Amino acid sequence: MNKWLLVGGAILLLAWVPFLYSELTSSPVEKKSRELPSENLEAEEEIDIFAAVEPEEAEEEAAGEEAAEGEQVAEEEAAEGEEVAEAIDQPTDTPPEGQDGEEGEEGEEGEEAPPPPPPRLTGPTQVLKTAFENEPRDALWADGAEGRITQIFEADDMPEGFFEAANCRKAVCKIELKWSAEQSAAYMEVHKIVREEFGTEVGVEPEGGQDEEGFQHINLYVPRKGYTVADLSE
């Protein structure tokens, strides 16, 4: 009996010797390398699962955002429609703020604009006046200049009694006017014409003040064309 047990044990030992030898002689690195493919496979399966799930979730989120934007636009359009309807329903016969209909128009018509002030002392008046008083008369030029000044005041739009006299010397003319607030437009027109036809350096000299009827004497000193204040002051 013991003999057979020893024989069987020897046979089993011989059968297990190659397996034990391979297990004992293999390194831990080789064991780990044999386990890596299964781990990589599991990681790839997890990645594929998430890759398959994320696009579906993104599409669902995009669809939810579009629905929310559509609801917001619909609400804004409804609010605008209500505002338009309210504006249409409001009465249109109410006058704007600050206007009281006929009473406001009567008030504006009743207010009169202040009268224009009389002309002031302007321009190189002293130089032109001194030259006029001291220079001799150039009859050839003076007669023609006085005639042209008279024609200016004979126009249809000039008021009667506005022009009084014109007197010219060698290089300066003195124009005497009778100004009033009603004749302020005519005065501006005359002032413009003499600047164009004689010279731009016009002297304005008011005399006294306005009388009881609102009239005031005004003298205009205009230089002969081609002469300057610098020439007349020498």
Q: CB-hemisphere CA count at 13 Å for 57?
A: 6
Please report where in the chains the tokens 């220079």 appear, as a residue: 135
Residues 58 and 142 in one domain: no
pTM: 0.53
**Bridge partners of 221?**
174, 203
Residues 43 and 141 in one domain: no
Please report where in the chains the tokens 């060698």 appear, as a residue: 170
Q: What is the pLDDT of residue 172?
A: 96
Number of domains within the chain: 2
Mean per-residue pLDDT over the chain, rounded: 75
Q: How far apart are CA 49 and CA 177, in angstroms?
A: 107
Domain limits for position 200: 125-232
pLDDT tens, position by position, 73-116: 556 655 655 554 454 455 445 545 545 545 444 445 667 788 88
pLDDT tens, position by position, 162-195: 999 999 999 999 999 999 999 999 999 999 999 9
Q: What is the pLDDT of residue 10?
A: 73
Q: Which residue type sits at 180? A: S
Q: What is the pLDDT of residue 14?
A: 73
Q: How far apart are CA 149 and CA 219, in angstroms?
A: 13
* Closest by Cα among 165, 171, 219, 178 to 198: 171
Residue 19 lies in a domain: yes
How long a stretch of residues is the chain?
Answer: 234
Q: How far apart are CA 199 and CA 75, in angstroms?
A: 74
Residue 171 lies in a domain: yes
Q: How far apart are CA 148 and CA 143, in angstroms?
A: 9
Residue 95 lies in a domain: no
Which helix (H) or strand (E) segment holds residue 103: the answer is helix 102-110
At 210, is the pLDDT very low, low, confident or very high (cuts 50, 70, 90)?
confident
Residues 227 and 131 in one domain: yes
Q: 22 or 195: whose pLDDT is higher?
A: 195
pLDDT of 200 above 60: yes
Q: What is the pLDDT of residue 107?
A: 46
At 205, is the pLDDT very low, low, confident or very high (cuts 50, 70, 90)?
very high
Residues 46 and 142 in one domain: no
Q: How far apart are CA 12 and CA 165, in angstroms?
A: 159
Residue 96 lies in a domain: no
